[in-house]
Chain A
């Protein structure tokens, strides 16, 4: 079901920027890209979402390519607490007008001291 492709794992040094890529080449014009993360079996945590423009909040930045076929989540100064599985999700419509989040395998980010 998932329409995104992410590397299974990445490493990052503490204090450096973590850049997590995601491919979503079949994304439709009205579909948003969402990023969530899951820290060691806790509930998934919403990070950021976007449609076309780049977005930034207190947690991260989201860079979406002009053709919208890929995006990058940037954690500007990664800390050990950012070690988690990061999910890139394209929000798909479902029956009755509802939309659902379909989770893929995600990227396991390990931040090293």
Chain B
């Protein structure tokens, strides 16, 4: 049973296209995150949601729009893709209260050509 699953695993697309990445967790967590890992391997937080409410919105271009239809799902839609968007995107989840660790998905490798 996959705890945090992301789809697709790989995504190759052309500049200017619009694409979505989906994330689902079956851990009963109420808080979910999107992280971006660039070619230099730095992991940076992008967004977080708690019970469908946007909590963290880091300095991310507004071409990136997260959506959380329910607390088990967090999707990321990217408009007008640019070469610099190429990265691995990780979804993570945890409980809002307490000091629990995050559970990460296996990532979506996005390549913009």
Contact = CB atoms under 8 A, between A and B. Distances in A.
A68 interface: no
A101 B55 contact: no
Contacts of A94: 55-56
User: SS class of chain B's interface: helix, strand, loop or mixed?
Assistant: strand
Contacts of B105: 43
Contact of A41 (B55, B88, B92): B88
Given A32-B99, A91-B99, A103-B42, A44 B55 contact: no
Interface residues of A, number: 24
User: SS class of chain A's interface: helix, strand, loop or mixed?
Assistant: loop
28 contacts: A32-B99, A41-B88, A41-B107, A42-B106, A42-B107, A43-B4, A43-B90, A43-B92, A43-B104, A44-B43, A44-B90, A44-B104, A45-B104, A46-B103, A49-B99, A51-B99, A85-B41, A91-B99, A94-B55, A95-B55, A98-B48, A98-B50, A98-B96, A100-B56, A101-B45, A101-B102, A103-B44, A105-B42
A96 B106 contact: no
Contacts of A43: 4, 90, 92, 104-107
Interface of B: 4, 31, 33, 35, 41-45, 48, 50, 55-56, 88, 90, 92, 96, 99, 101-107
